[in-house]
Amino acid sequence: MNKVSFSYLDELNEVQRNAVTTIDGPVMVIAGPGSGKTRVLTYRIAHLINSGVHPGQILALTFTNKAAREMKERIERVIGSSANKIWAGTFHSLFARILRVEAHRIGYPNDFTIYDTDDTKSVISEIVKTMNLDKKVYAPGVVRSRISSAKSNLITPKAYAVNEELLAYDRMNMRPHIHVLYDKYVKKCEKAGAMDFDDLLLQMFKLLYQNPDNVRSKYQNQFKYILVDEFQDTNYLQYEIMKLLIEYPDSPRNICIVGDDAQSIYSFRGASIENILMFETDFPEVQVFKLEQNYRSTNFIVNAANEVITYNSNQIKKKIWTQKEDGKKIKLIKAATDNEEGKRVSDSIIEQKNRFNLANKDIAILYRTNAQSRVFEENLRRFNIPYRVYGGLSFYQRKEIKDFLAYIRMVINDKDDEAFKRIINFPKRGIGNTSVEEIAKIAEDNGMSMWEVINSIELNSRAKKSIGEFVSIIRESKAKIDKLDAYEAAKFILNKSGIMTMLKADGSIESRSRMENLTSLLDGIQEFVQDDTLEINEEFSNDKSLSKFIQNISLMTDQDENNADADTVTLMSVHSAKGLEYRSIFVVGLEENLFPSYMSLADPSQIEEERRLFYVAITRAEEHLTLSYANSRYQYGDMRFNDPSRFLEEIKDENIDGLIGITRESKGFGEPKILGNFKPLKPKTASLNINPDDFSASPISKIIPGARVLHLKFGEGQVLSVDDRQIATILFSDAVDSPEKRIVLKFAKLQVLE
């Protein structure tokens, strides 16, 4: 029955095997890209379980939802359904889960609200306004990041107020009052029963550190084995939480950290490479395993990665290597404009699919900023290449979804002033800014929530009647949530809110899509109600209330994962590509000011982080790596000109193939004139399967009317005519859209068939 099999150990190389089987005491795995890190992690967990560890005693922490999901899936494949007993997930989601049970011990309600970045910024703006500070100087984003990094370094508002270094920095930037804002912000969140993303860590720390009712030992006993993925991305606070969980008298200190300093790309949110050094000091008995053999990429790609990273001065010495063949050289696409870049990349994707028999899902386009996706989306659509965009504005960040969720938040936690402000006058019911500010002021002065104010204080605002309407919507909804299941309750609230009525009345295409989104959120809630799979810990699993549903929604940043197996090209930021691999990778927008980002140019350490980011990007590729840049692009509404990225120069020429396509010396405006044929292809174009080795382009002089030719993209065709500009009209009978194509001979790859 429970036959224990250790056969998976045969699939590992020696270093990997040692990293998997050394289960006692602290272990550090330094894992280069493609070195089988995830395999080591999953097999290590499988090995723990095979060695008699109960799955519920394992805590496996990751940074992104995507990494967590992938880890869980892979563990399940190895050990079966008991995998769902493992505490595997992101720091934020697992700590939120614990705090949902324990928060009352540290003065928070267990059904605390989670503030996302927008909520946080809005709270800060409010404080800046009431303090009569300049909102340009105290931009909410800037203030938020100061507060966030204070929290990440365990600096309380009190400590901040006397920390000369921080104060001096703020004075230098003409923001001497940040410590006051920090203090007020924390108090406001506490009063609203809300935690921001940093609080999920900070309050977890507080819980373990202050140790009410000896709660710490409960979790120390529960988590006998701790694993941390992407350790180079942890911040000080996360490190301290780990230590509280692992360090106690006679602790076996079973902690395994996995990471790669060369892939540290999150210092902007407080991650610190120093944690790796600190770990070696705090756990001197640590056993270190270095995984340097790369199983992912061919040699040209590995070489390029090694070359690029040598330009960084701060790094743990290691060199990745591969036994694979040289493979294809790196391709470079040089475009005149961002739009041409989009076209050439799409063009190149079609060519690769045909020449190398790649599926769409083997291909990913990686960019530095999410805003770059638009041009690629447009062009991929034009070529009828199915694609999927990760990141950017997720489903839960859409306006209509946030509005509806704000209603639900209000119904569940009426102290949630951020939700209150969002919906008090949405849909429009005649309660303007003046009234809202009056309510906010009274709330502030009396230490009440805004909801309490409108329920207890007679306002002289003439919006009184409308406020009454709002109160009854929320009250009636409140009366329902305990009687109905999450789905019925949500449907009731949505109806009451009037959002749907408003959208229906509007009738625009946009409104219709908003209504669809709301309906699909309701579907999601229905699914949640009917879902019968068990969660990690049974004490959490029977709650089907609406409150339970929305509790972790702020943490759900990924887009719907329903069709993860669909055959689509993937578009995403380099950050979210970490940990993934594709047969073919396009890294686009390689220009100074963009990649590396203009934000990083002044600071050498930030340039190094950009370089690590580039390192991450190129090491995602298994066989094909294409780098592209544009001489000019539209940014912030007008045309900008950027130089090619310094990172391109850091790759030795011997690893790079010649240019693809036109080299335009002129940095002119507008569309390049000649770009081949960009009419849309029908989807599911039959792959032509032309072996590139059998293909050799013929000289232009051979392309004459009547000749039979082979084209890499369009297959076999017959030349009808060639005009004096050397443009041939060719009949491709297999082409799905229009069989007749005009081909510019100067750029076309045509082979004359005898």
Partner DNA sequence: GGGGGCTATGGGGGG
Partner DNA sequence: CATAGCCCCC
Binding site for DNA (CB under 7 A): 63-66, 90-93, 117, 125, 135-136, 139, 141, 148, 197-198, 266-269, 368-371, 391, 425, 428-435, 461-463, 555, 557-558, 573, 575-576, 597, 599-600, 606, 609-610, 634-637
Least distance to DNA from the beta carbon of 636, Å? Answer: 2
Catalytic one of 37, 74, 253, 318 = 37
> 69 or 544: whose CB is closer to DNA?
69
> 20 or 500: whose CB is closer to DNA?
500
Write the DSSP symbol of residue 722.
Answer: E
> 430 or 468: whose CB is closer to DNA?
430
> 429 or 478: whose CB is closer to DNA?
429
> 557 or 626: whose CB is closer to DNA?
557
Least distance to DNA from the beta carbon of 433, Å? Answer: 6
Contact partners, residue 30, CB within 8 Å, separation at least 6: 259, 260, 261, 288, 289, 290, 291, 316, 318
> Do residues 732 and 717 lie in contact, with contact meaning Cβ atoms separated by under 8 Å?
yes
In the annotation, is 338 catalytic?
A: no
Instruction: In the chain, count H helices and then E strands.
Output: 28, 21
Least distance to DNA from the beta carbon of 406, Å? Answer: 14
Q: Alpha carbon of 200 to those of 87, 154, 155, 688: distances in Å?
A: 16, 13, 15, 53
Distance (Å, rounded) from C-alpha 365 to C-alpha 380? 11
In the annotation, is 344 catalytic?
A: no
**Cα 360 off chain centre by:** 21
Least distance to DNA from the beta carbon of 203, Å? Answer: 13
Distance (Å, rounded) from C-alpha 253 to C-alpha 250? 8
Distance (Å, rounded) from C-alpha 281 to C-alpha 170? 32
Output the six-digit token pair for 6: 């250790």
**Bond prior to 680 in cis (omega within 30° of 0):** no
Residue 65: what residue type?
N
Specify the 3-state DSSP secondary structure of 753: strand
Least distance to DNA from the beta carbon of 607, Å? Answer: 10
Give the closest residue to 578 by CA, choosing from 335, 283, 271, 312.
271
Least distance to DNA from the beta carbon of 528, Å? Answer: 19
Distance (Å, rounded) from C-alpha 319 to C-alpha 323? 13
Contact partners, residue 214, CB within 8 Å, separation at least 6: none
Catalytic one of 64, 203, 234, 263 = 263
> 10 or 561: whose CB is closer to DNA?
561
Residue written as token pair 């509007």: 506
Catalytic one of 22, 38, 156, 526 = 38
> 573 or 632: whose CB is closer to DNA?
573
Least distance to DNA from the beta carbon of 71, Å? Answer: 13
In the annotation, is 230 catalytic?
A: yes
> 361 or 398: whose CB is closer to DNA?
398
> 447 or 637: whose CB is closer to DNA?
637
In the annotation, is 269 catalytic?
A: no
In the annotation, is 37 catalytic?
A: yes
Alpha helix locations (H) across 253-372? 274-282, 299-309, 338-356
**Bond prior to 212 in cis (omega within 30° of 0):** no
Distance (Å, rounded) from C-alpha 257 to C-alpha 85? 21
> Do residues 751 and 697 lie in contact, with contact meaning Cβ atoms separated by under 8 Å?
yes
Give the closest residue to 377 by CA, choosing from 403, 404, 341.
341
Catalytic one of 116, 119, 196, 229 = 229
Catalytic one of 253, 620, 646, 741 = 620
In the annotation, is 526 catalytic?
A: no
Least distance to DNA from the beta carbon of 22, Å? Answer: 29
Contact partners, residue 337, CB within 8 Å, separation at least 6: 630, 631, 632, 633, 670, 671, 672
Q: Alpha carbon of 189 to those of 115, 140, 561, 652, 671: distances in Å?
A: 9, 15, 32, 52, 51
Least distance to DNA from the beta carbon of 543, Å? Answer: 21
Catalytic one of 198, 230, 338, 608 = 230
Catalytic residues: 37-38, 229-230, 263, 620
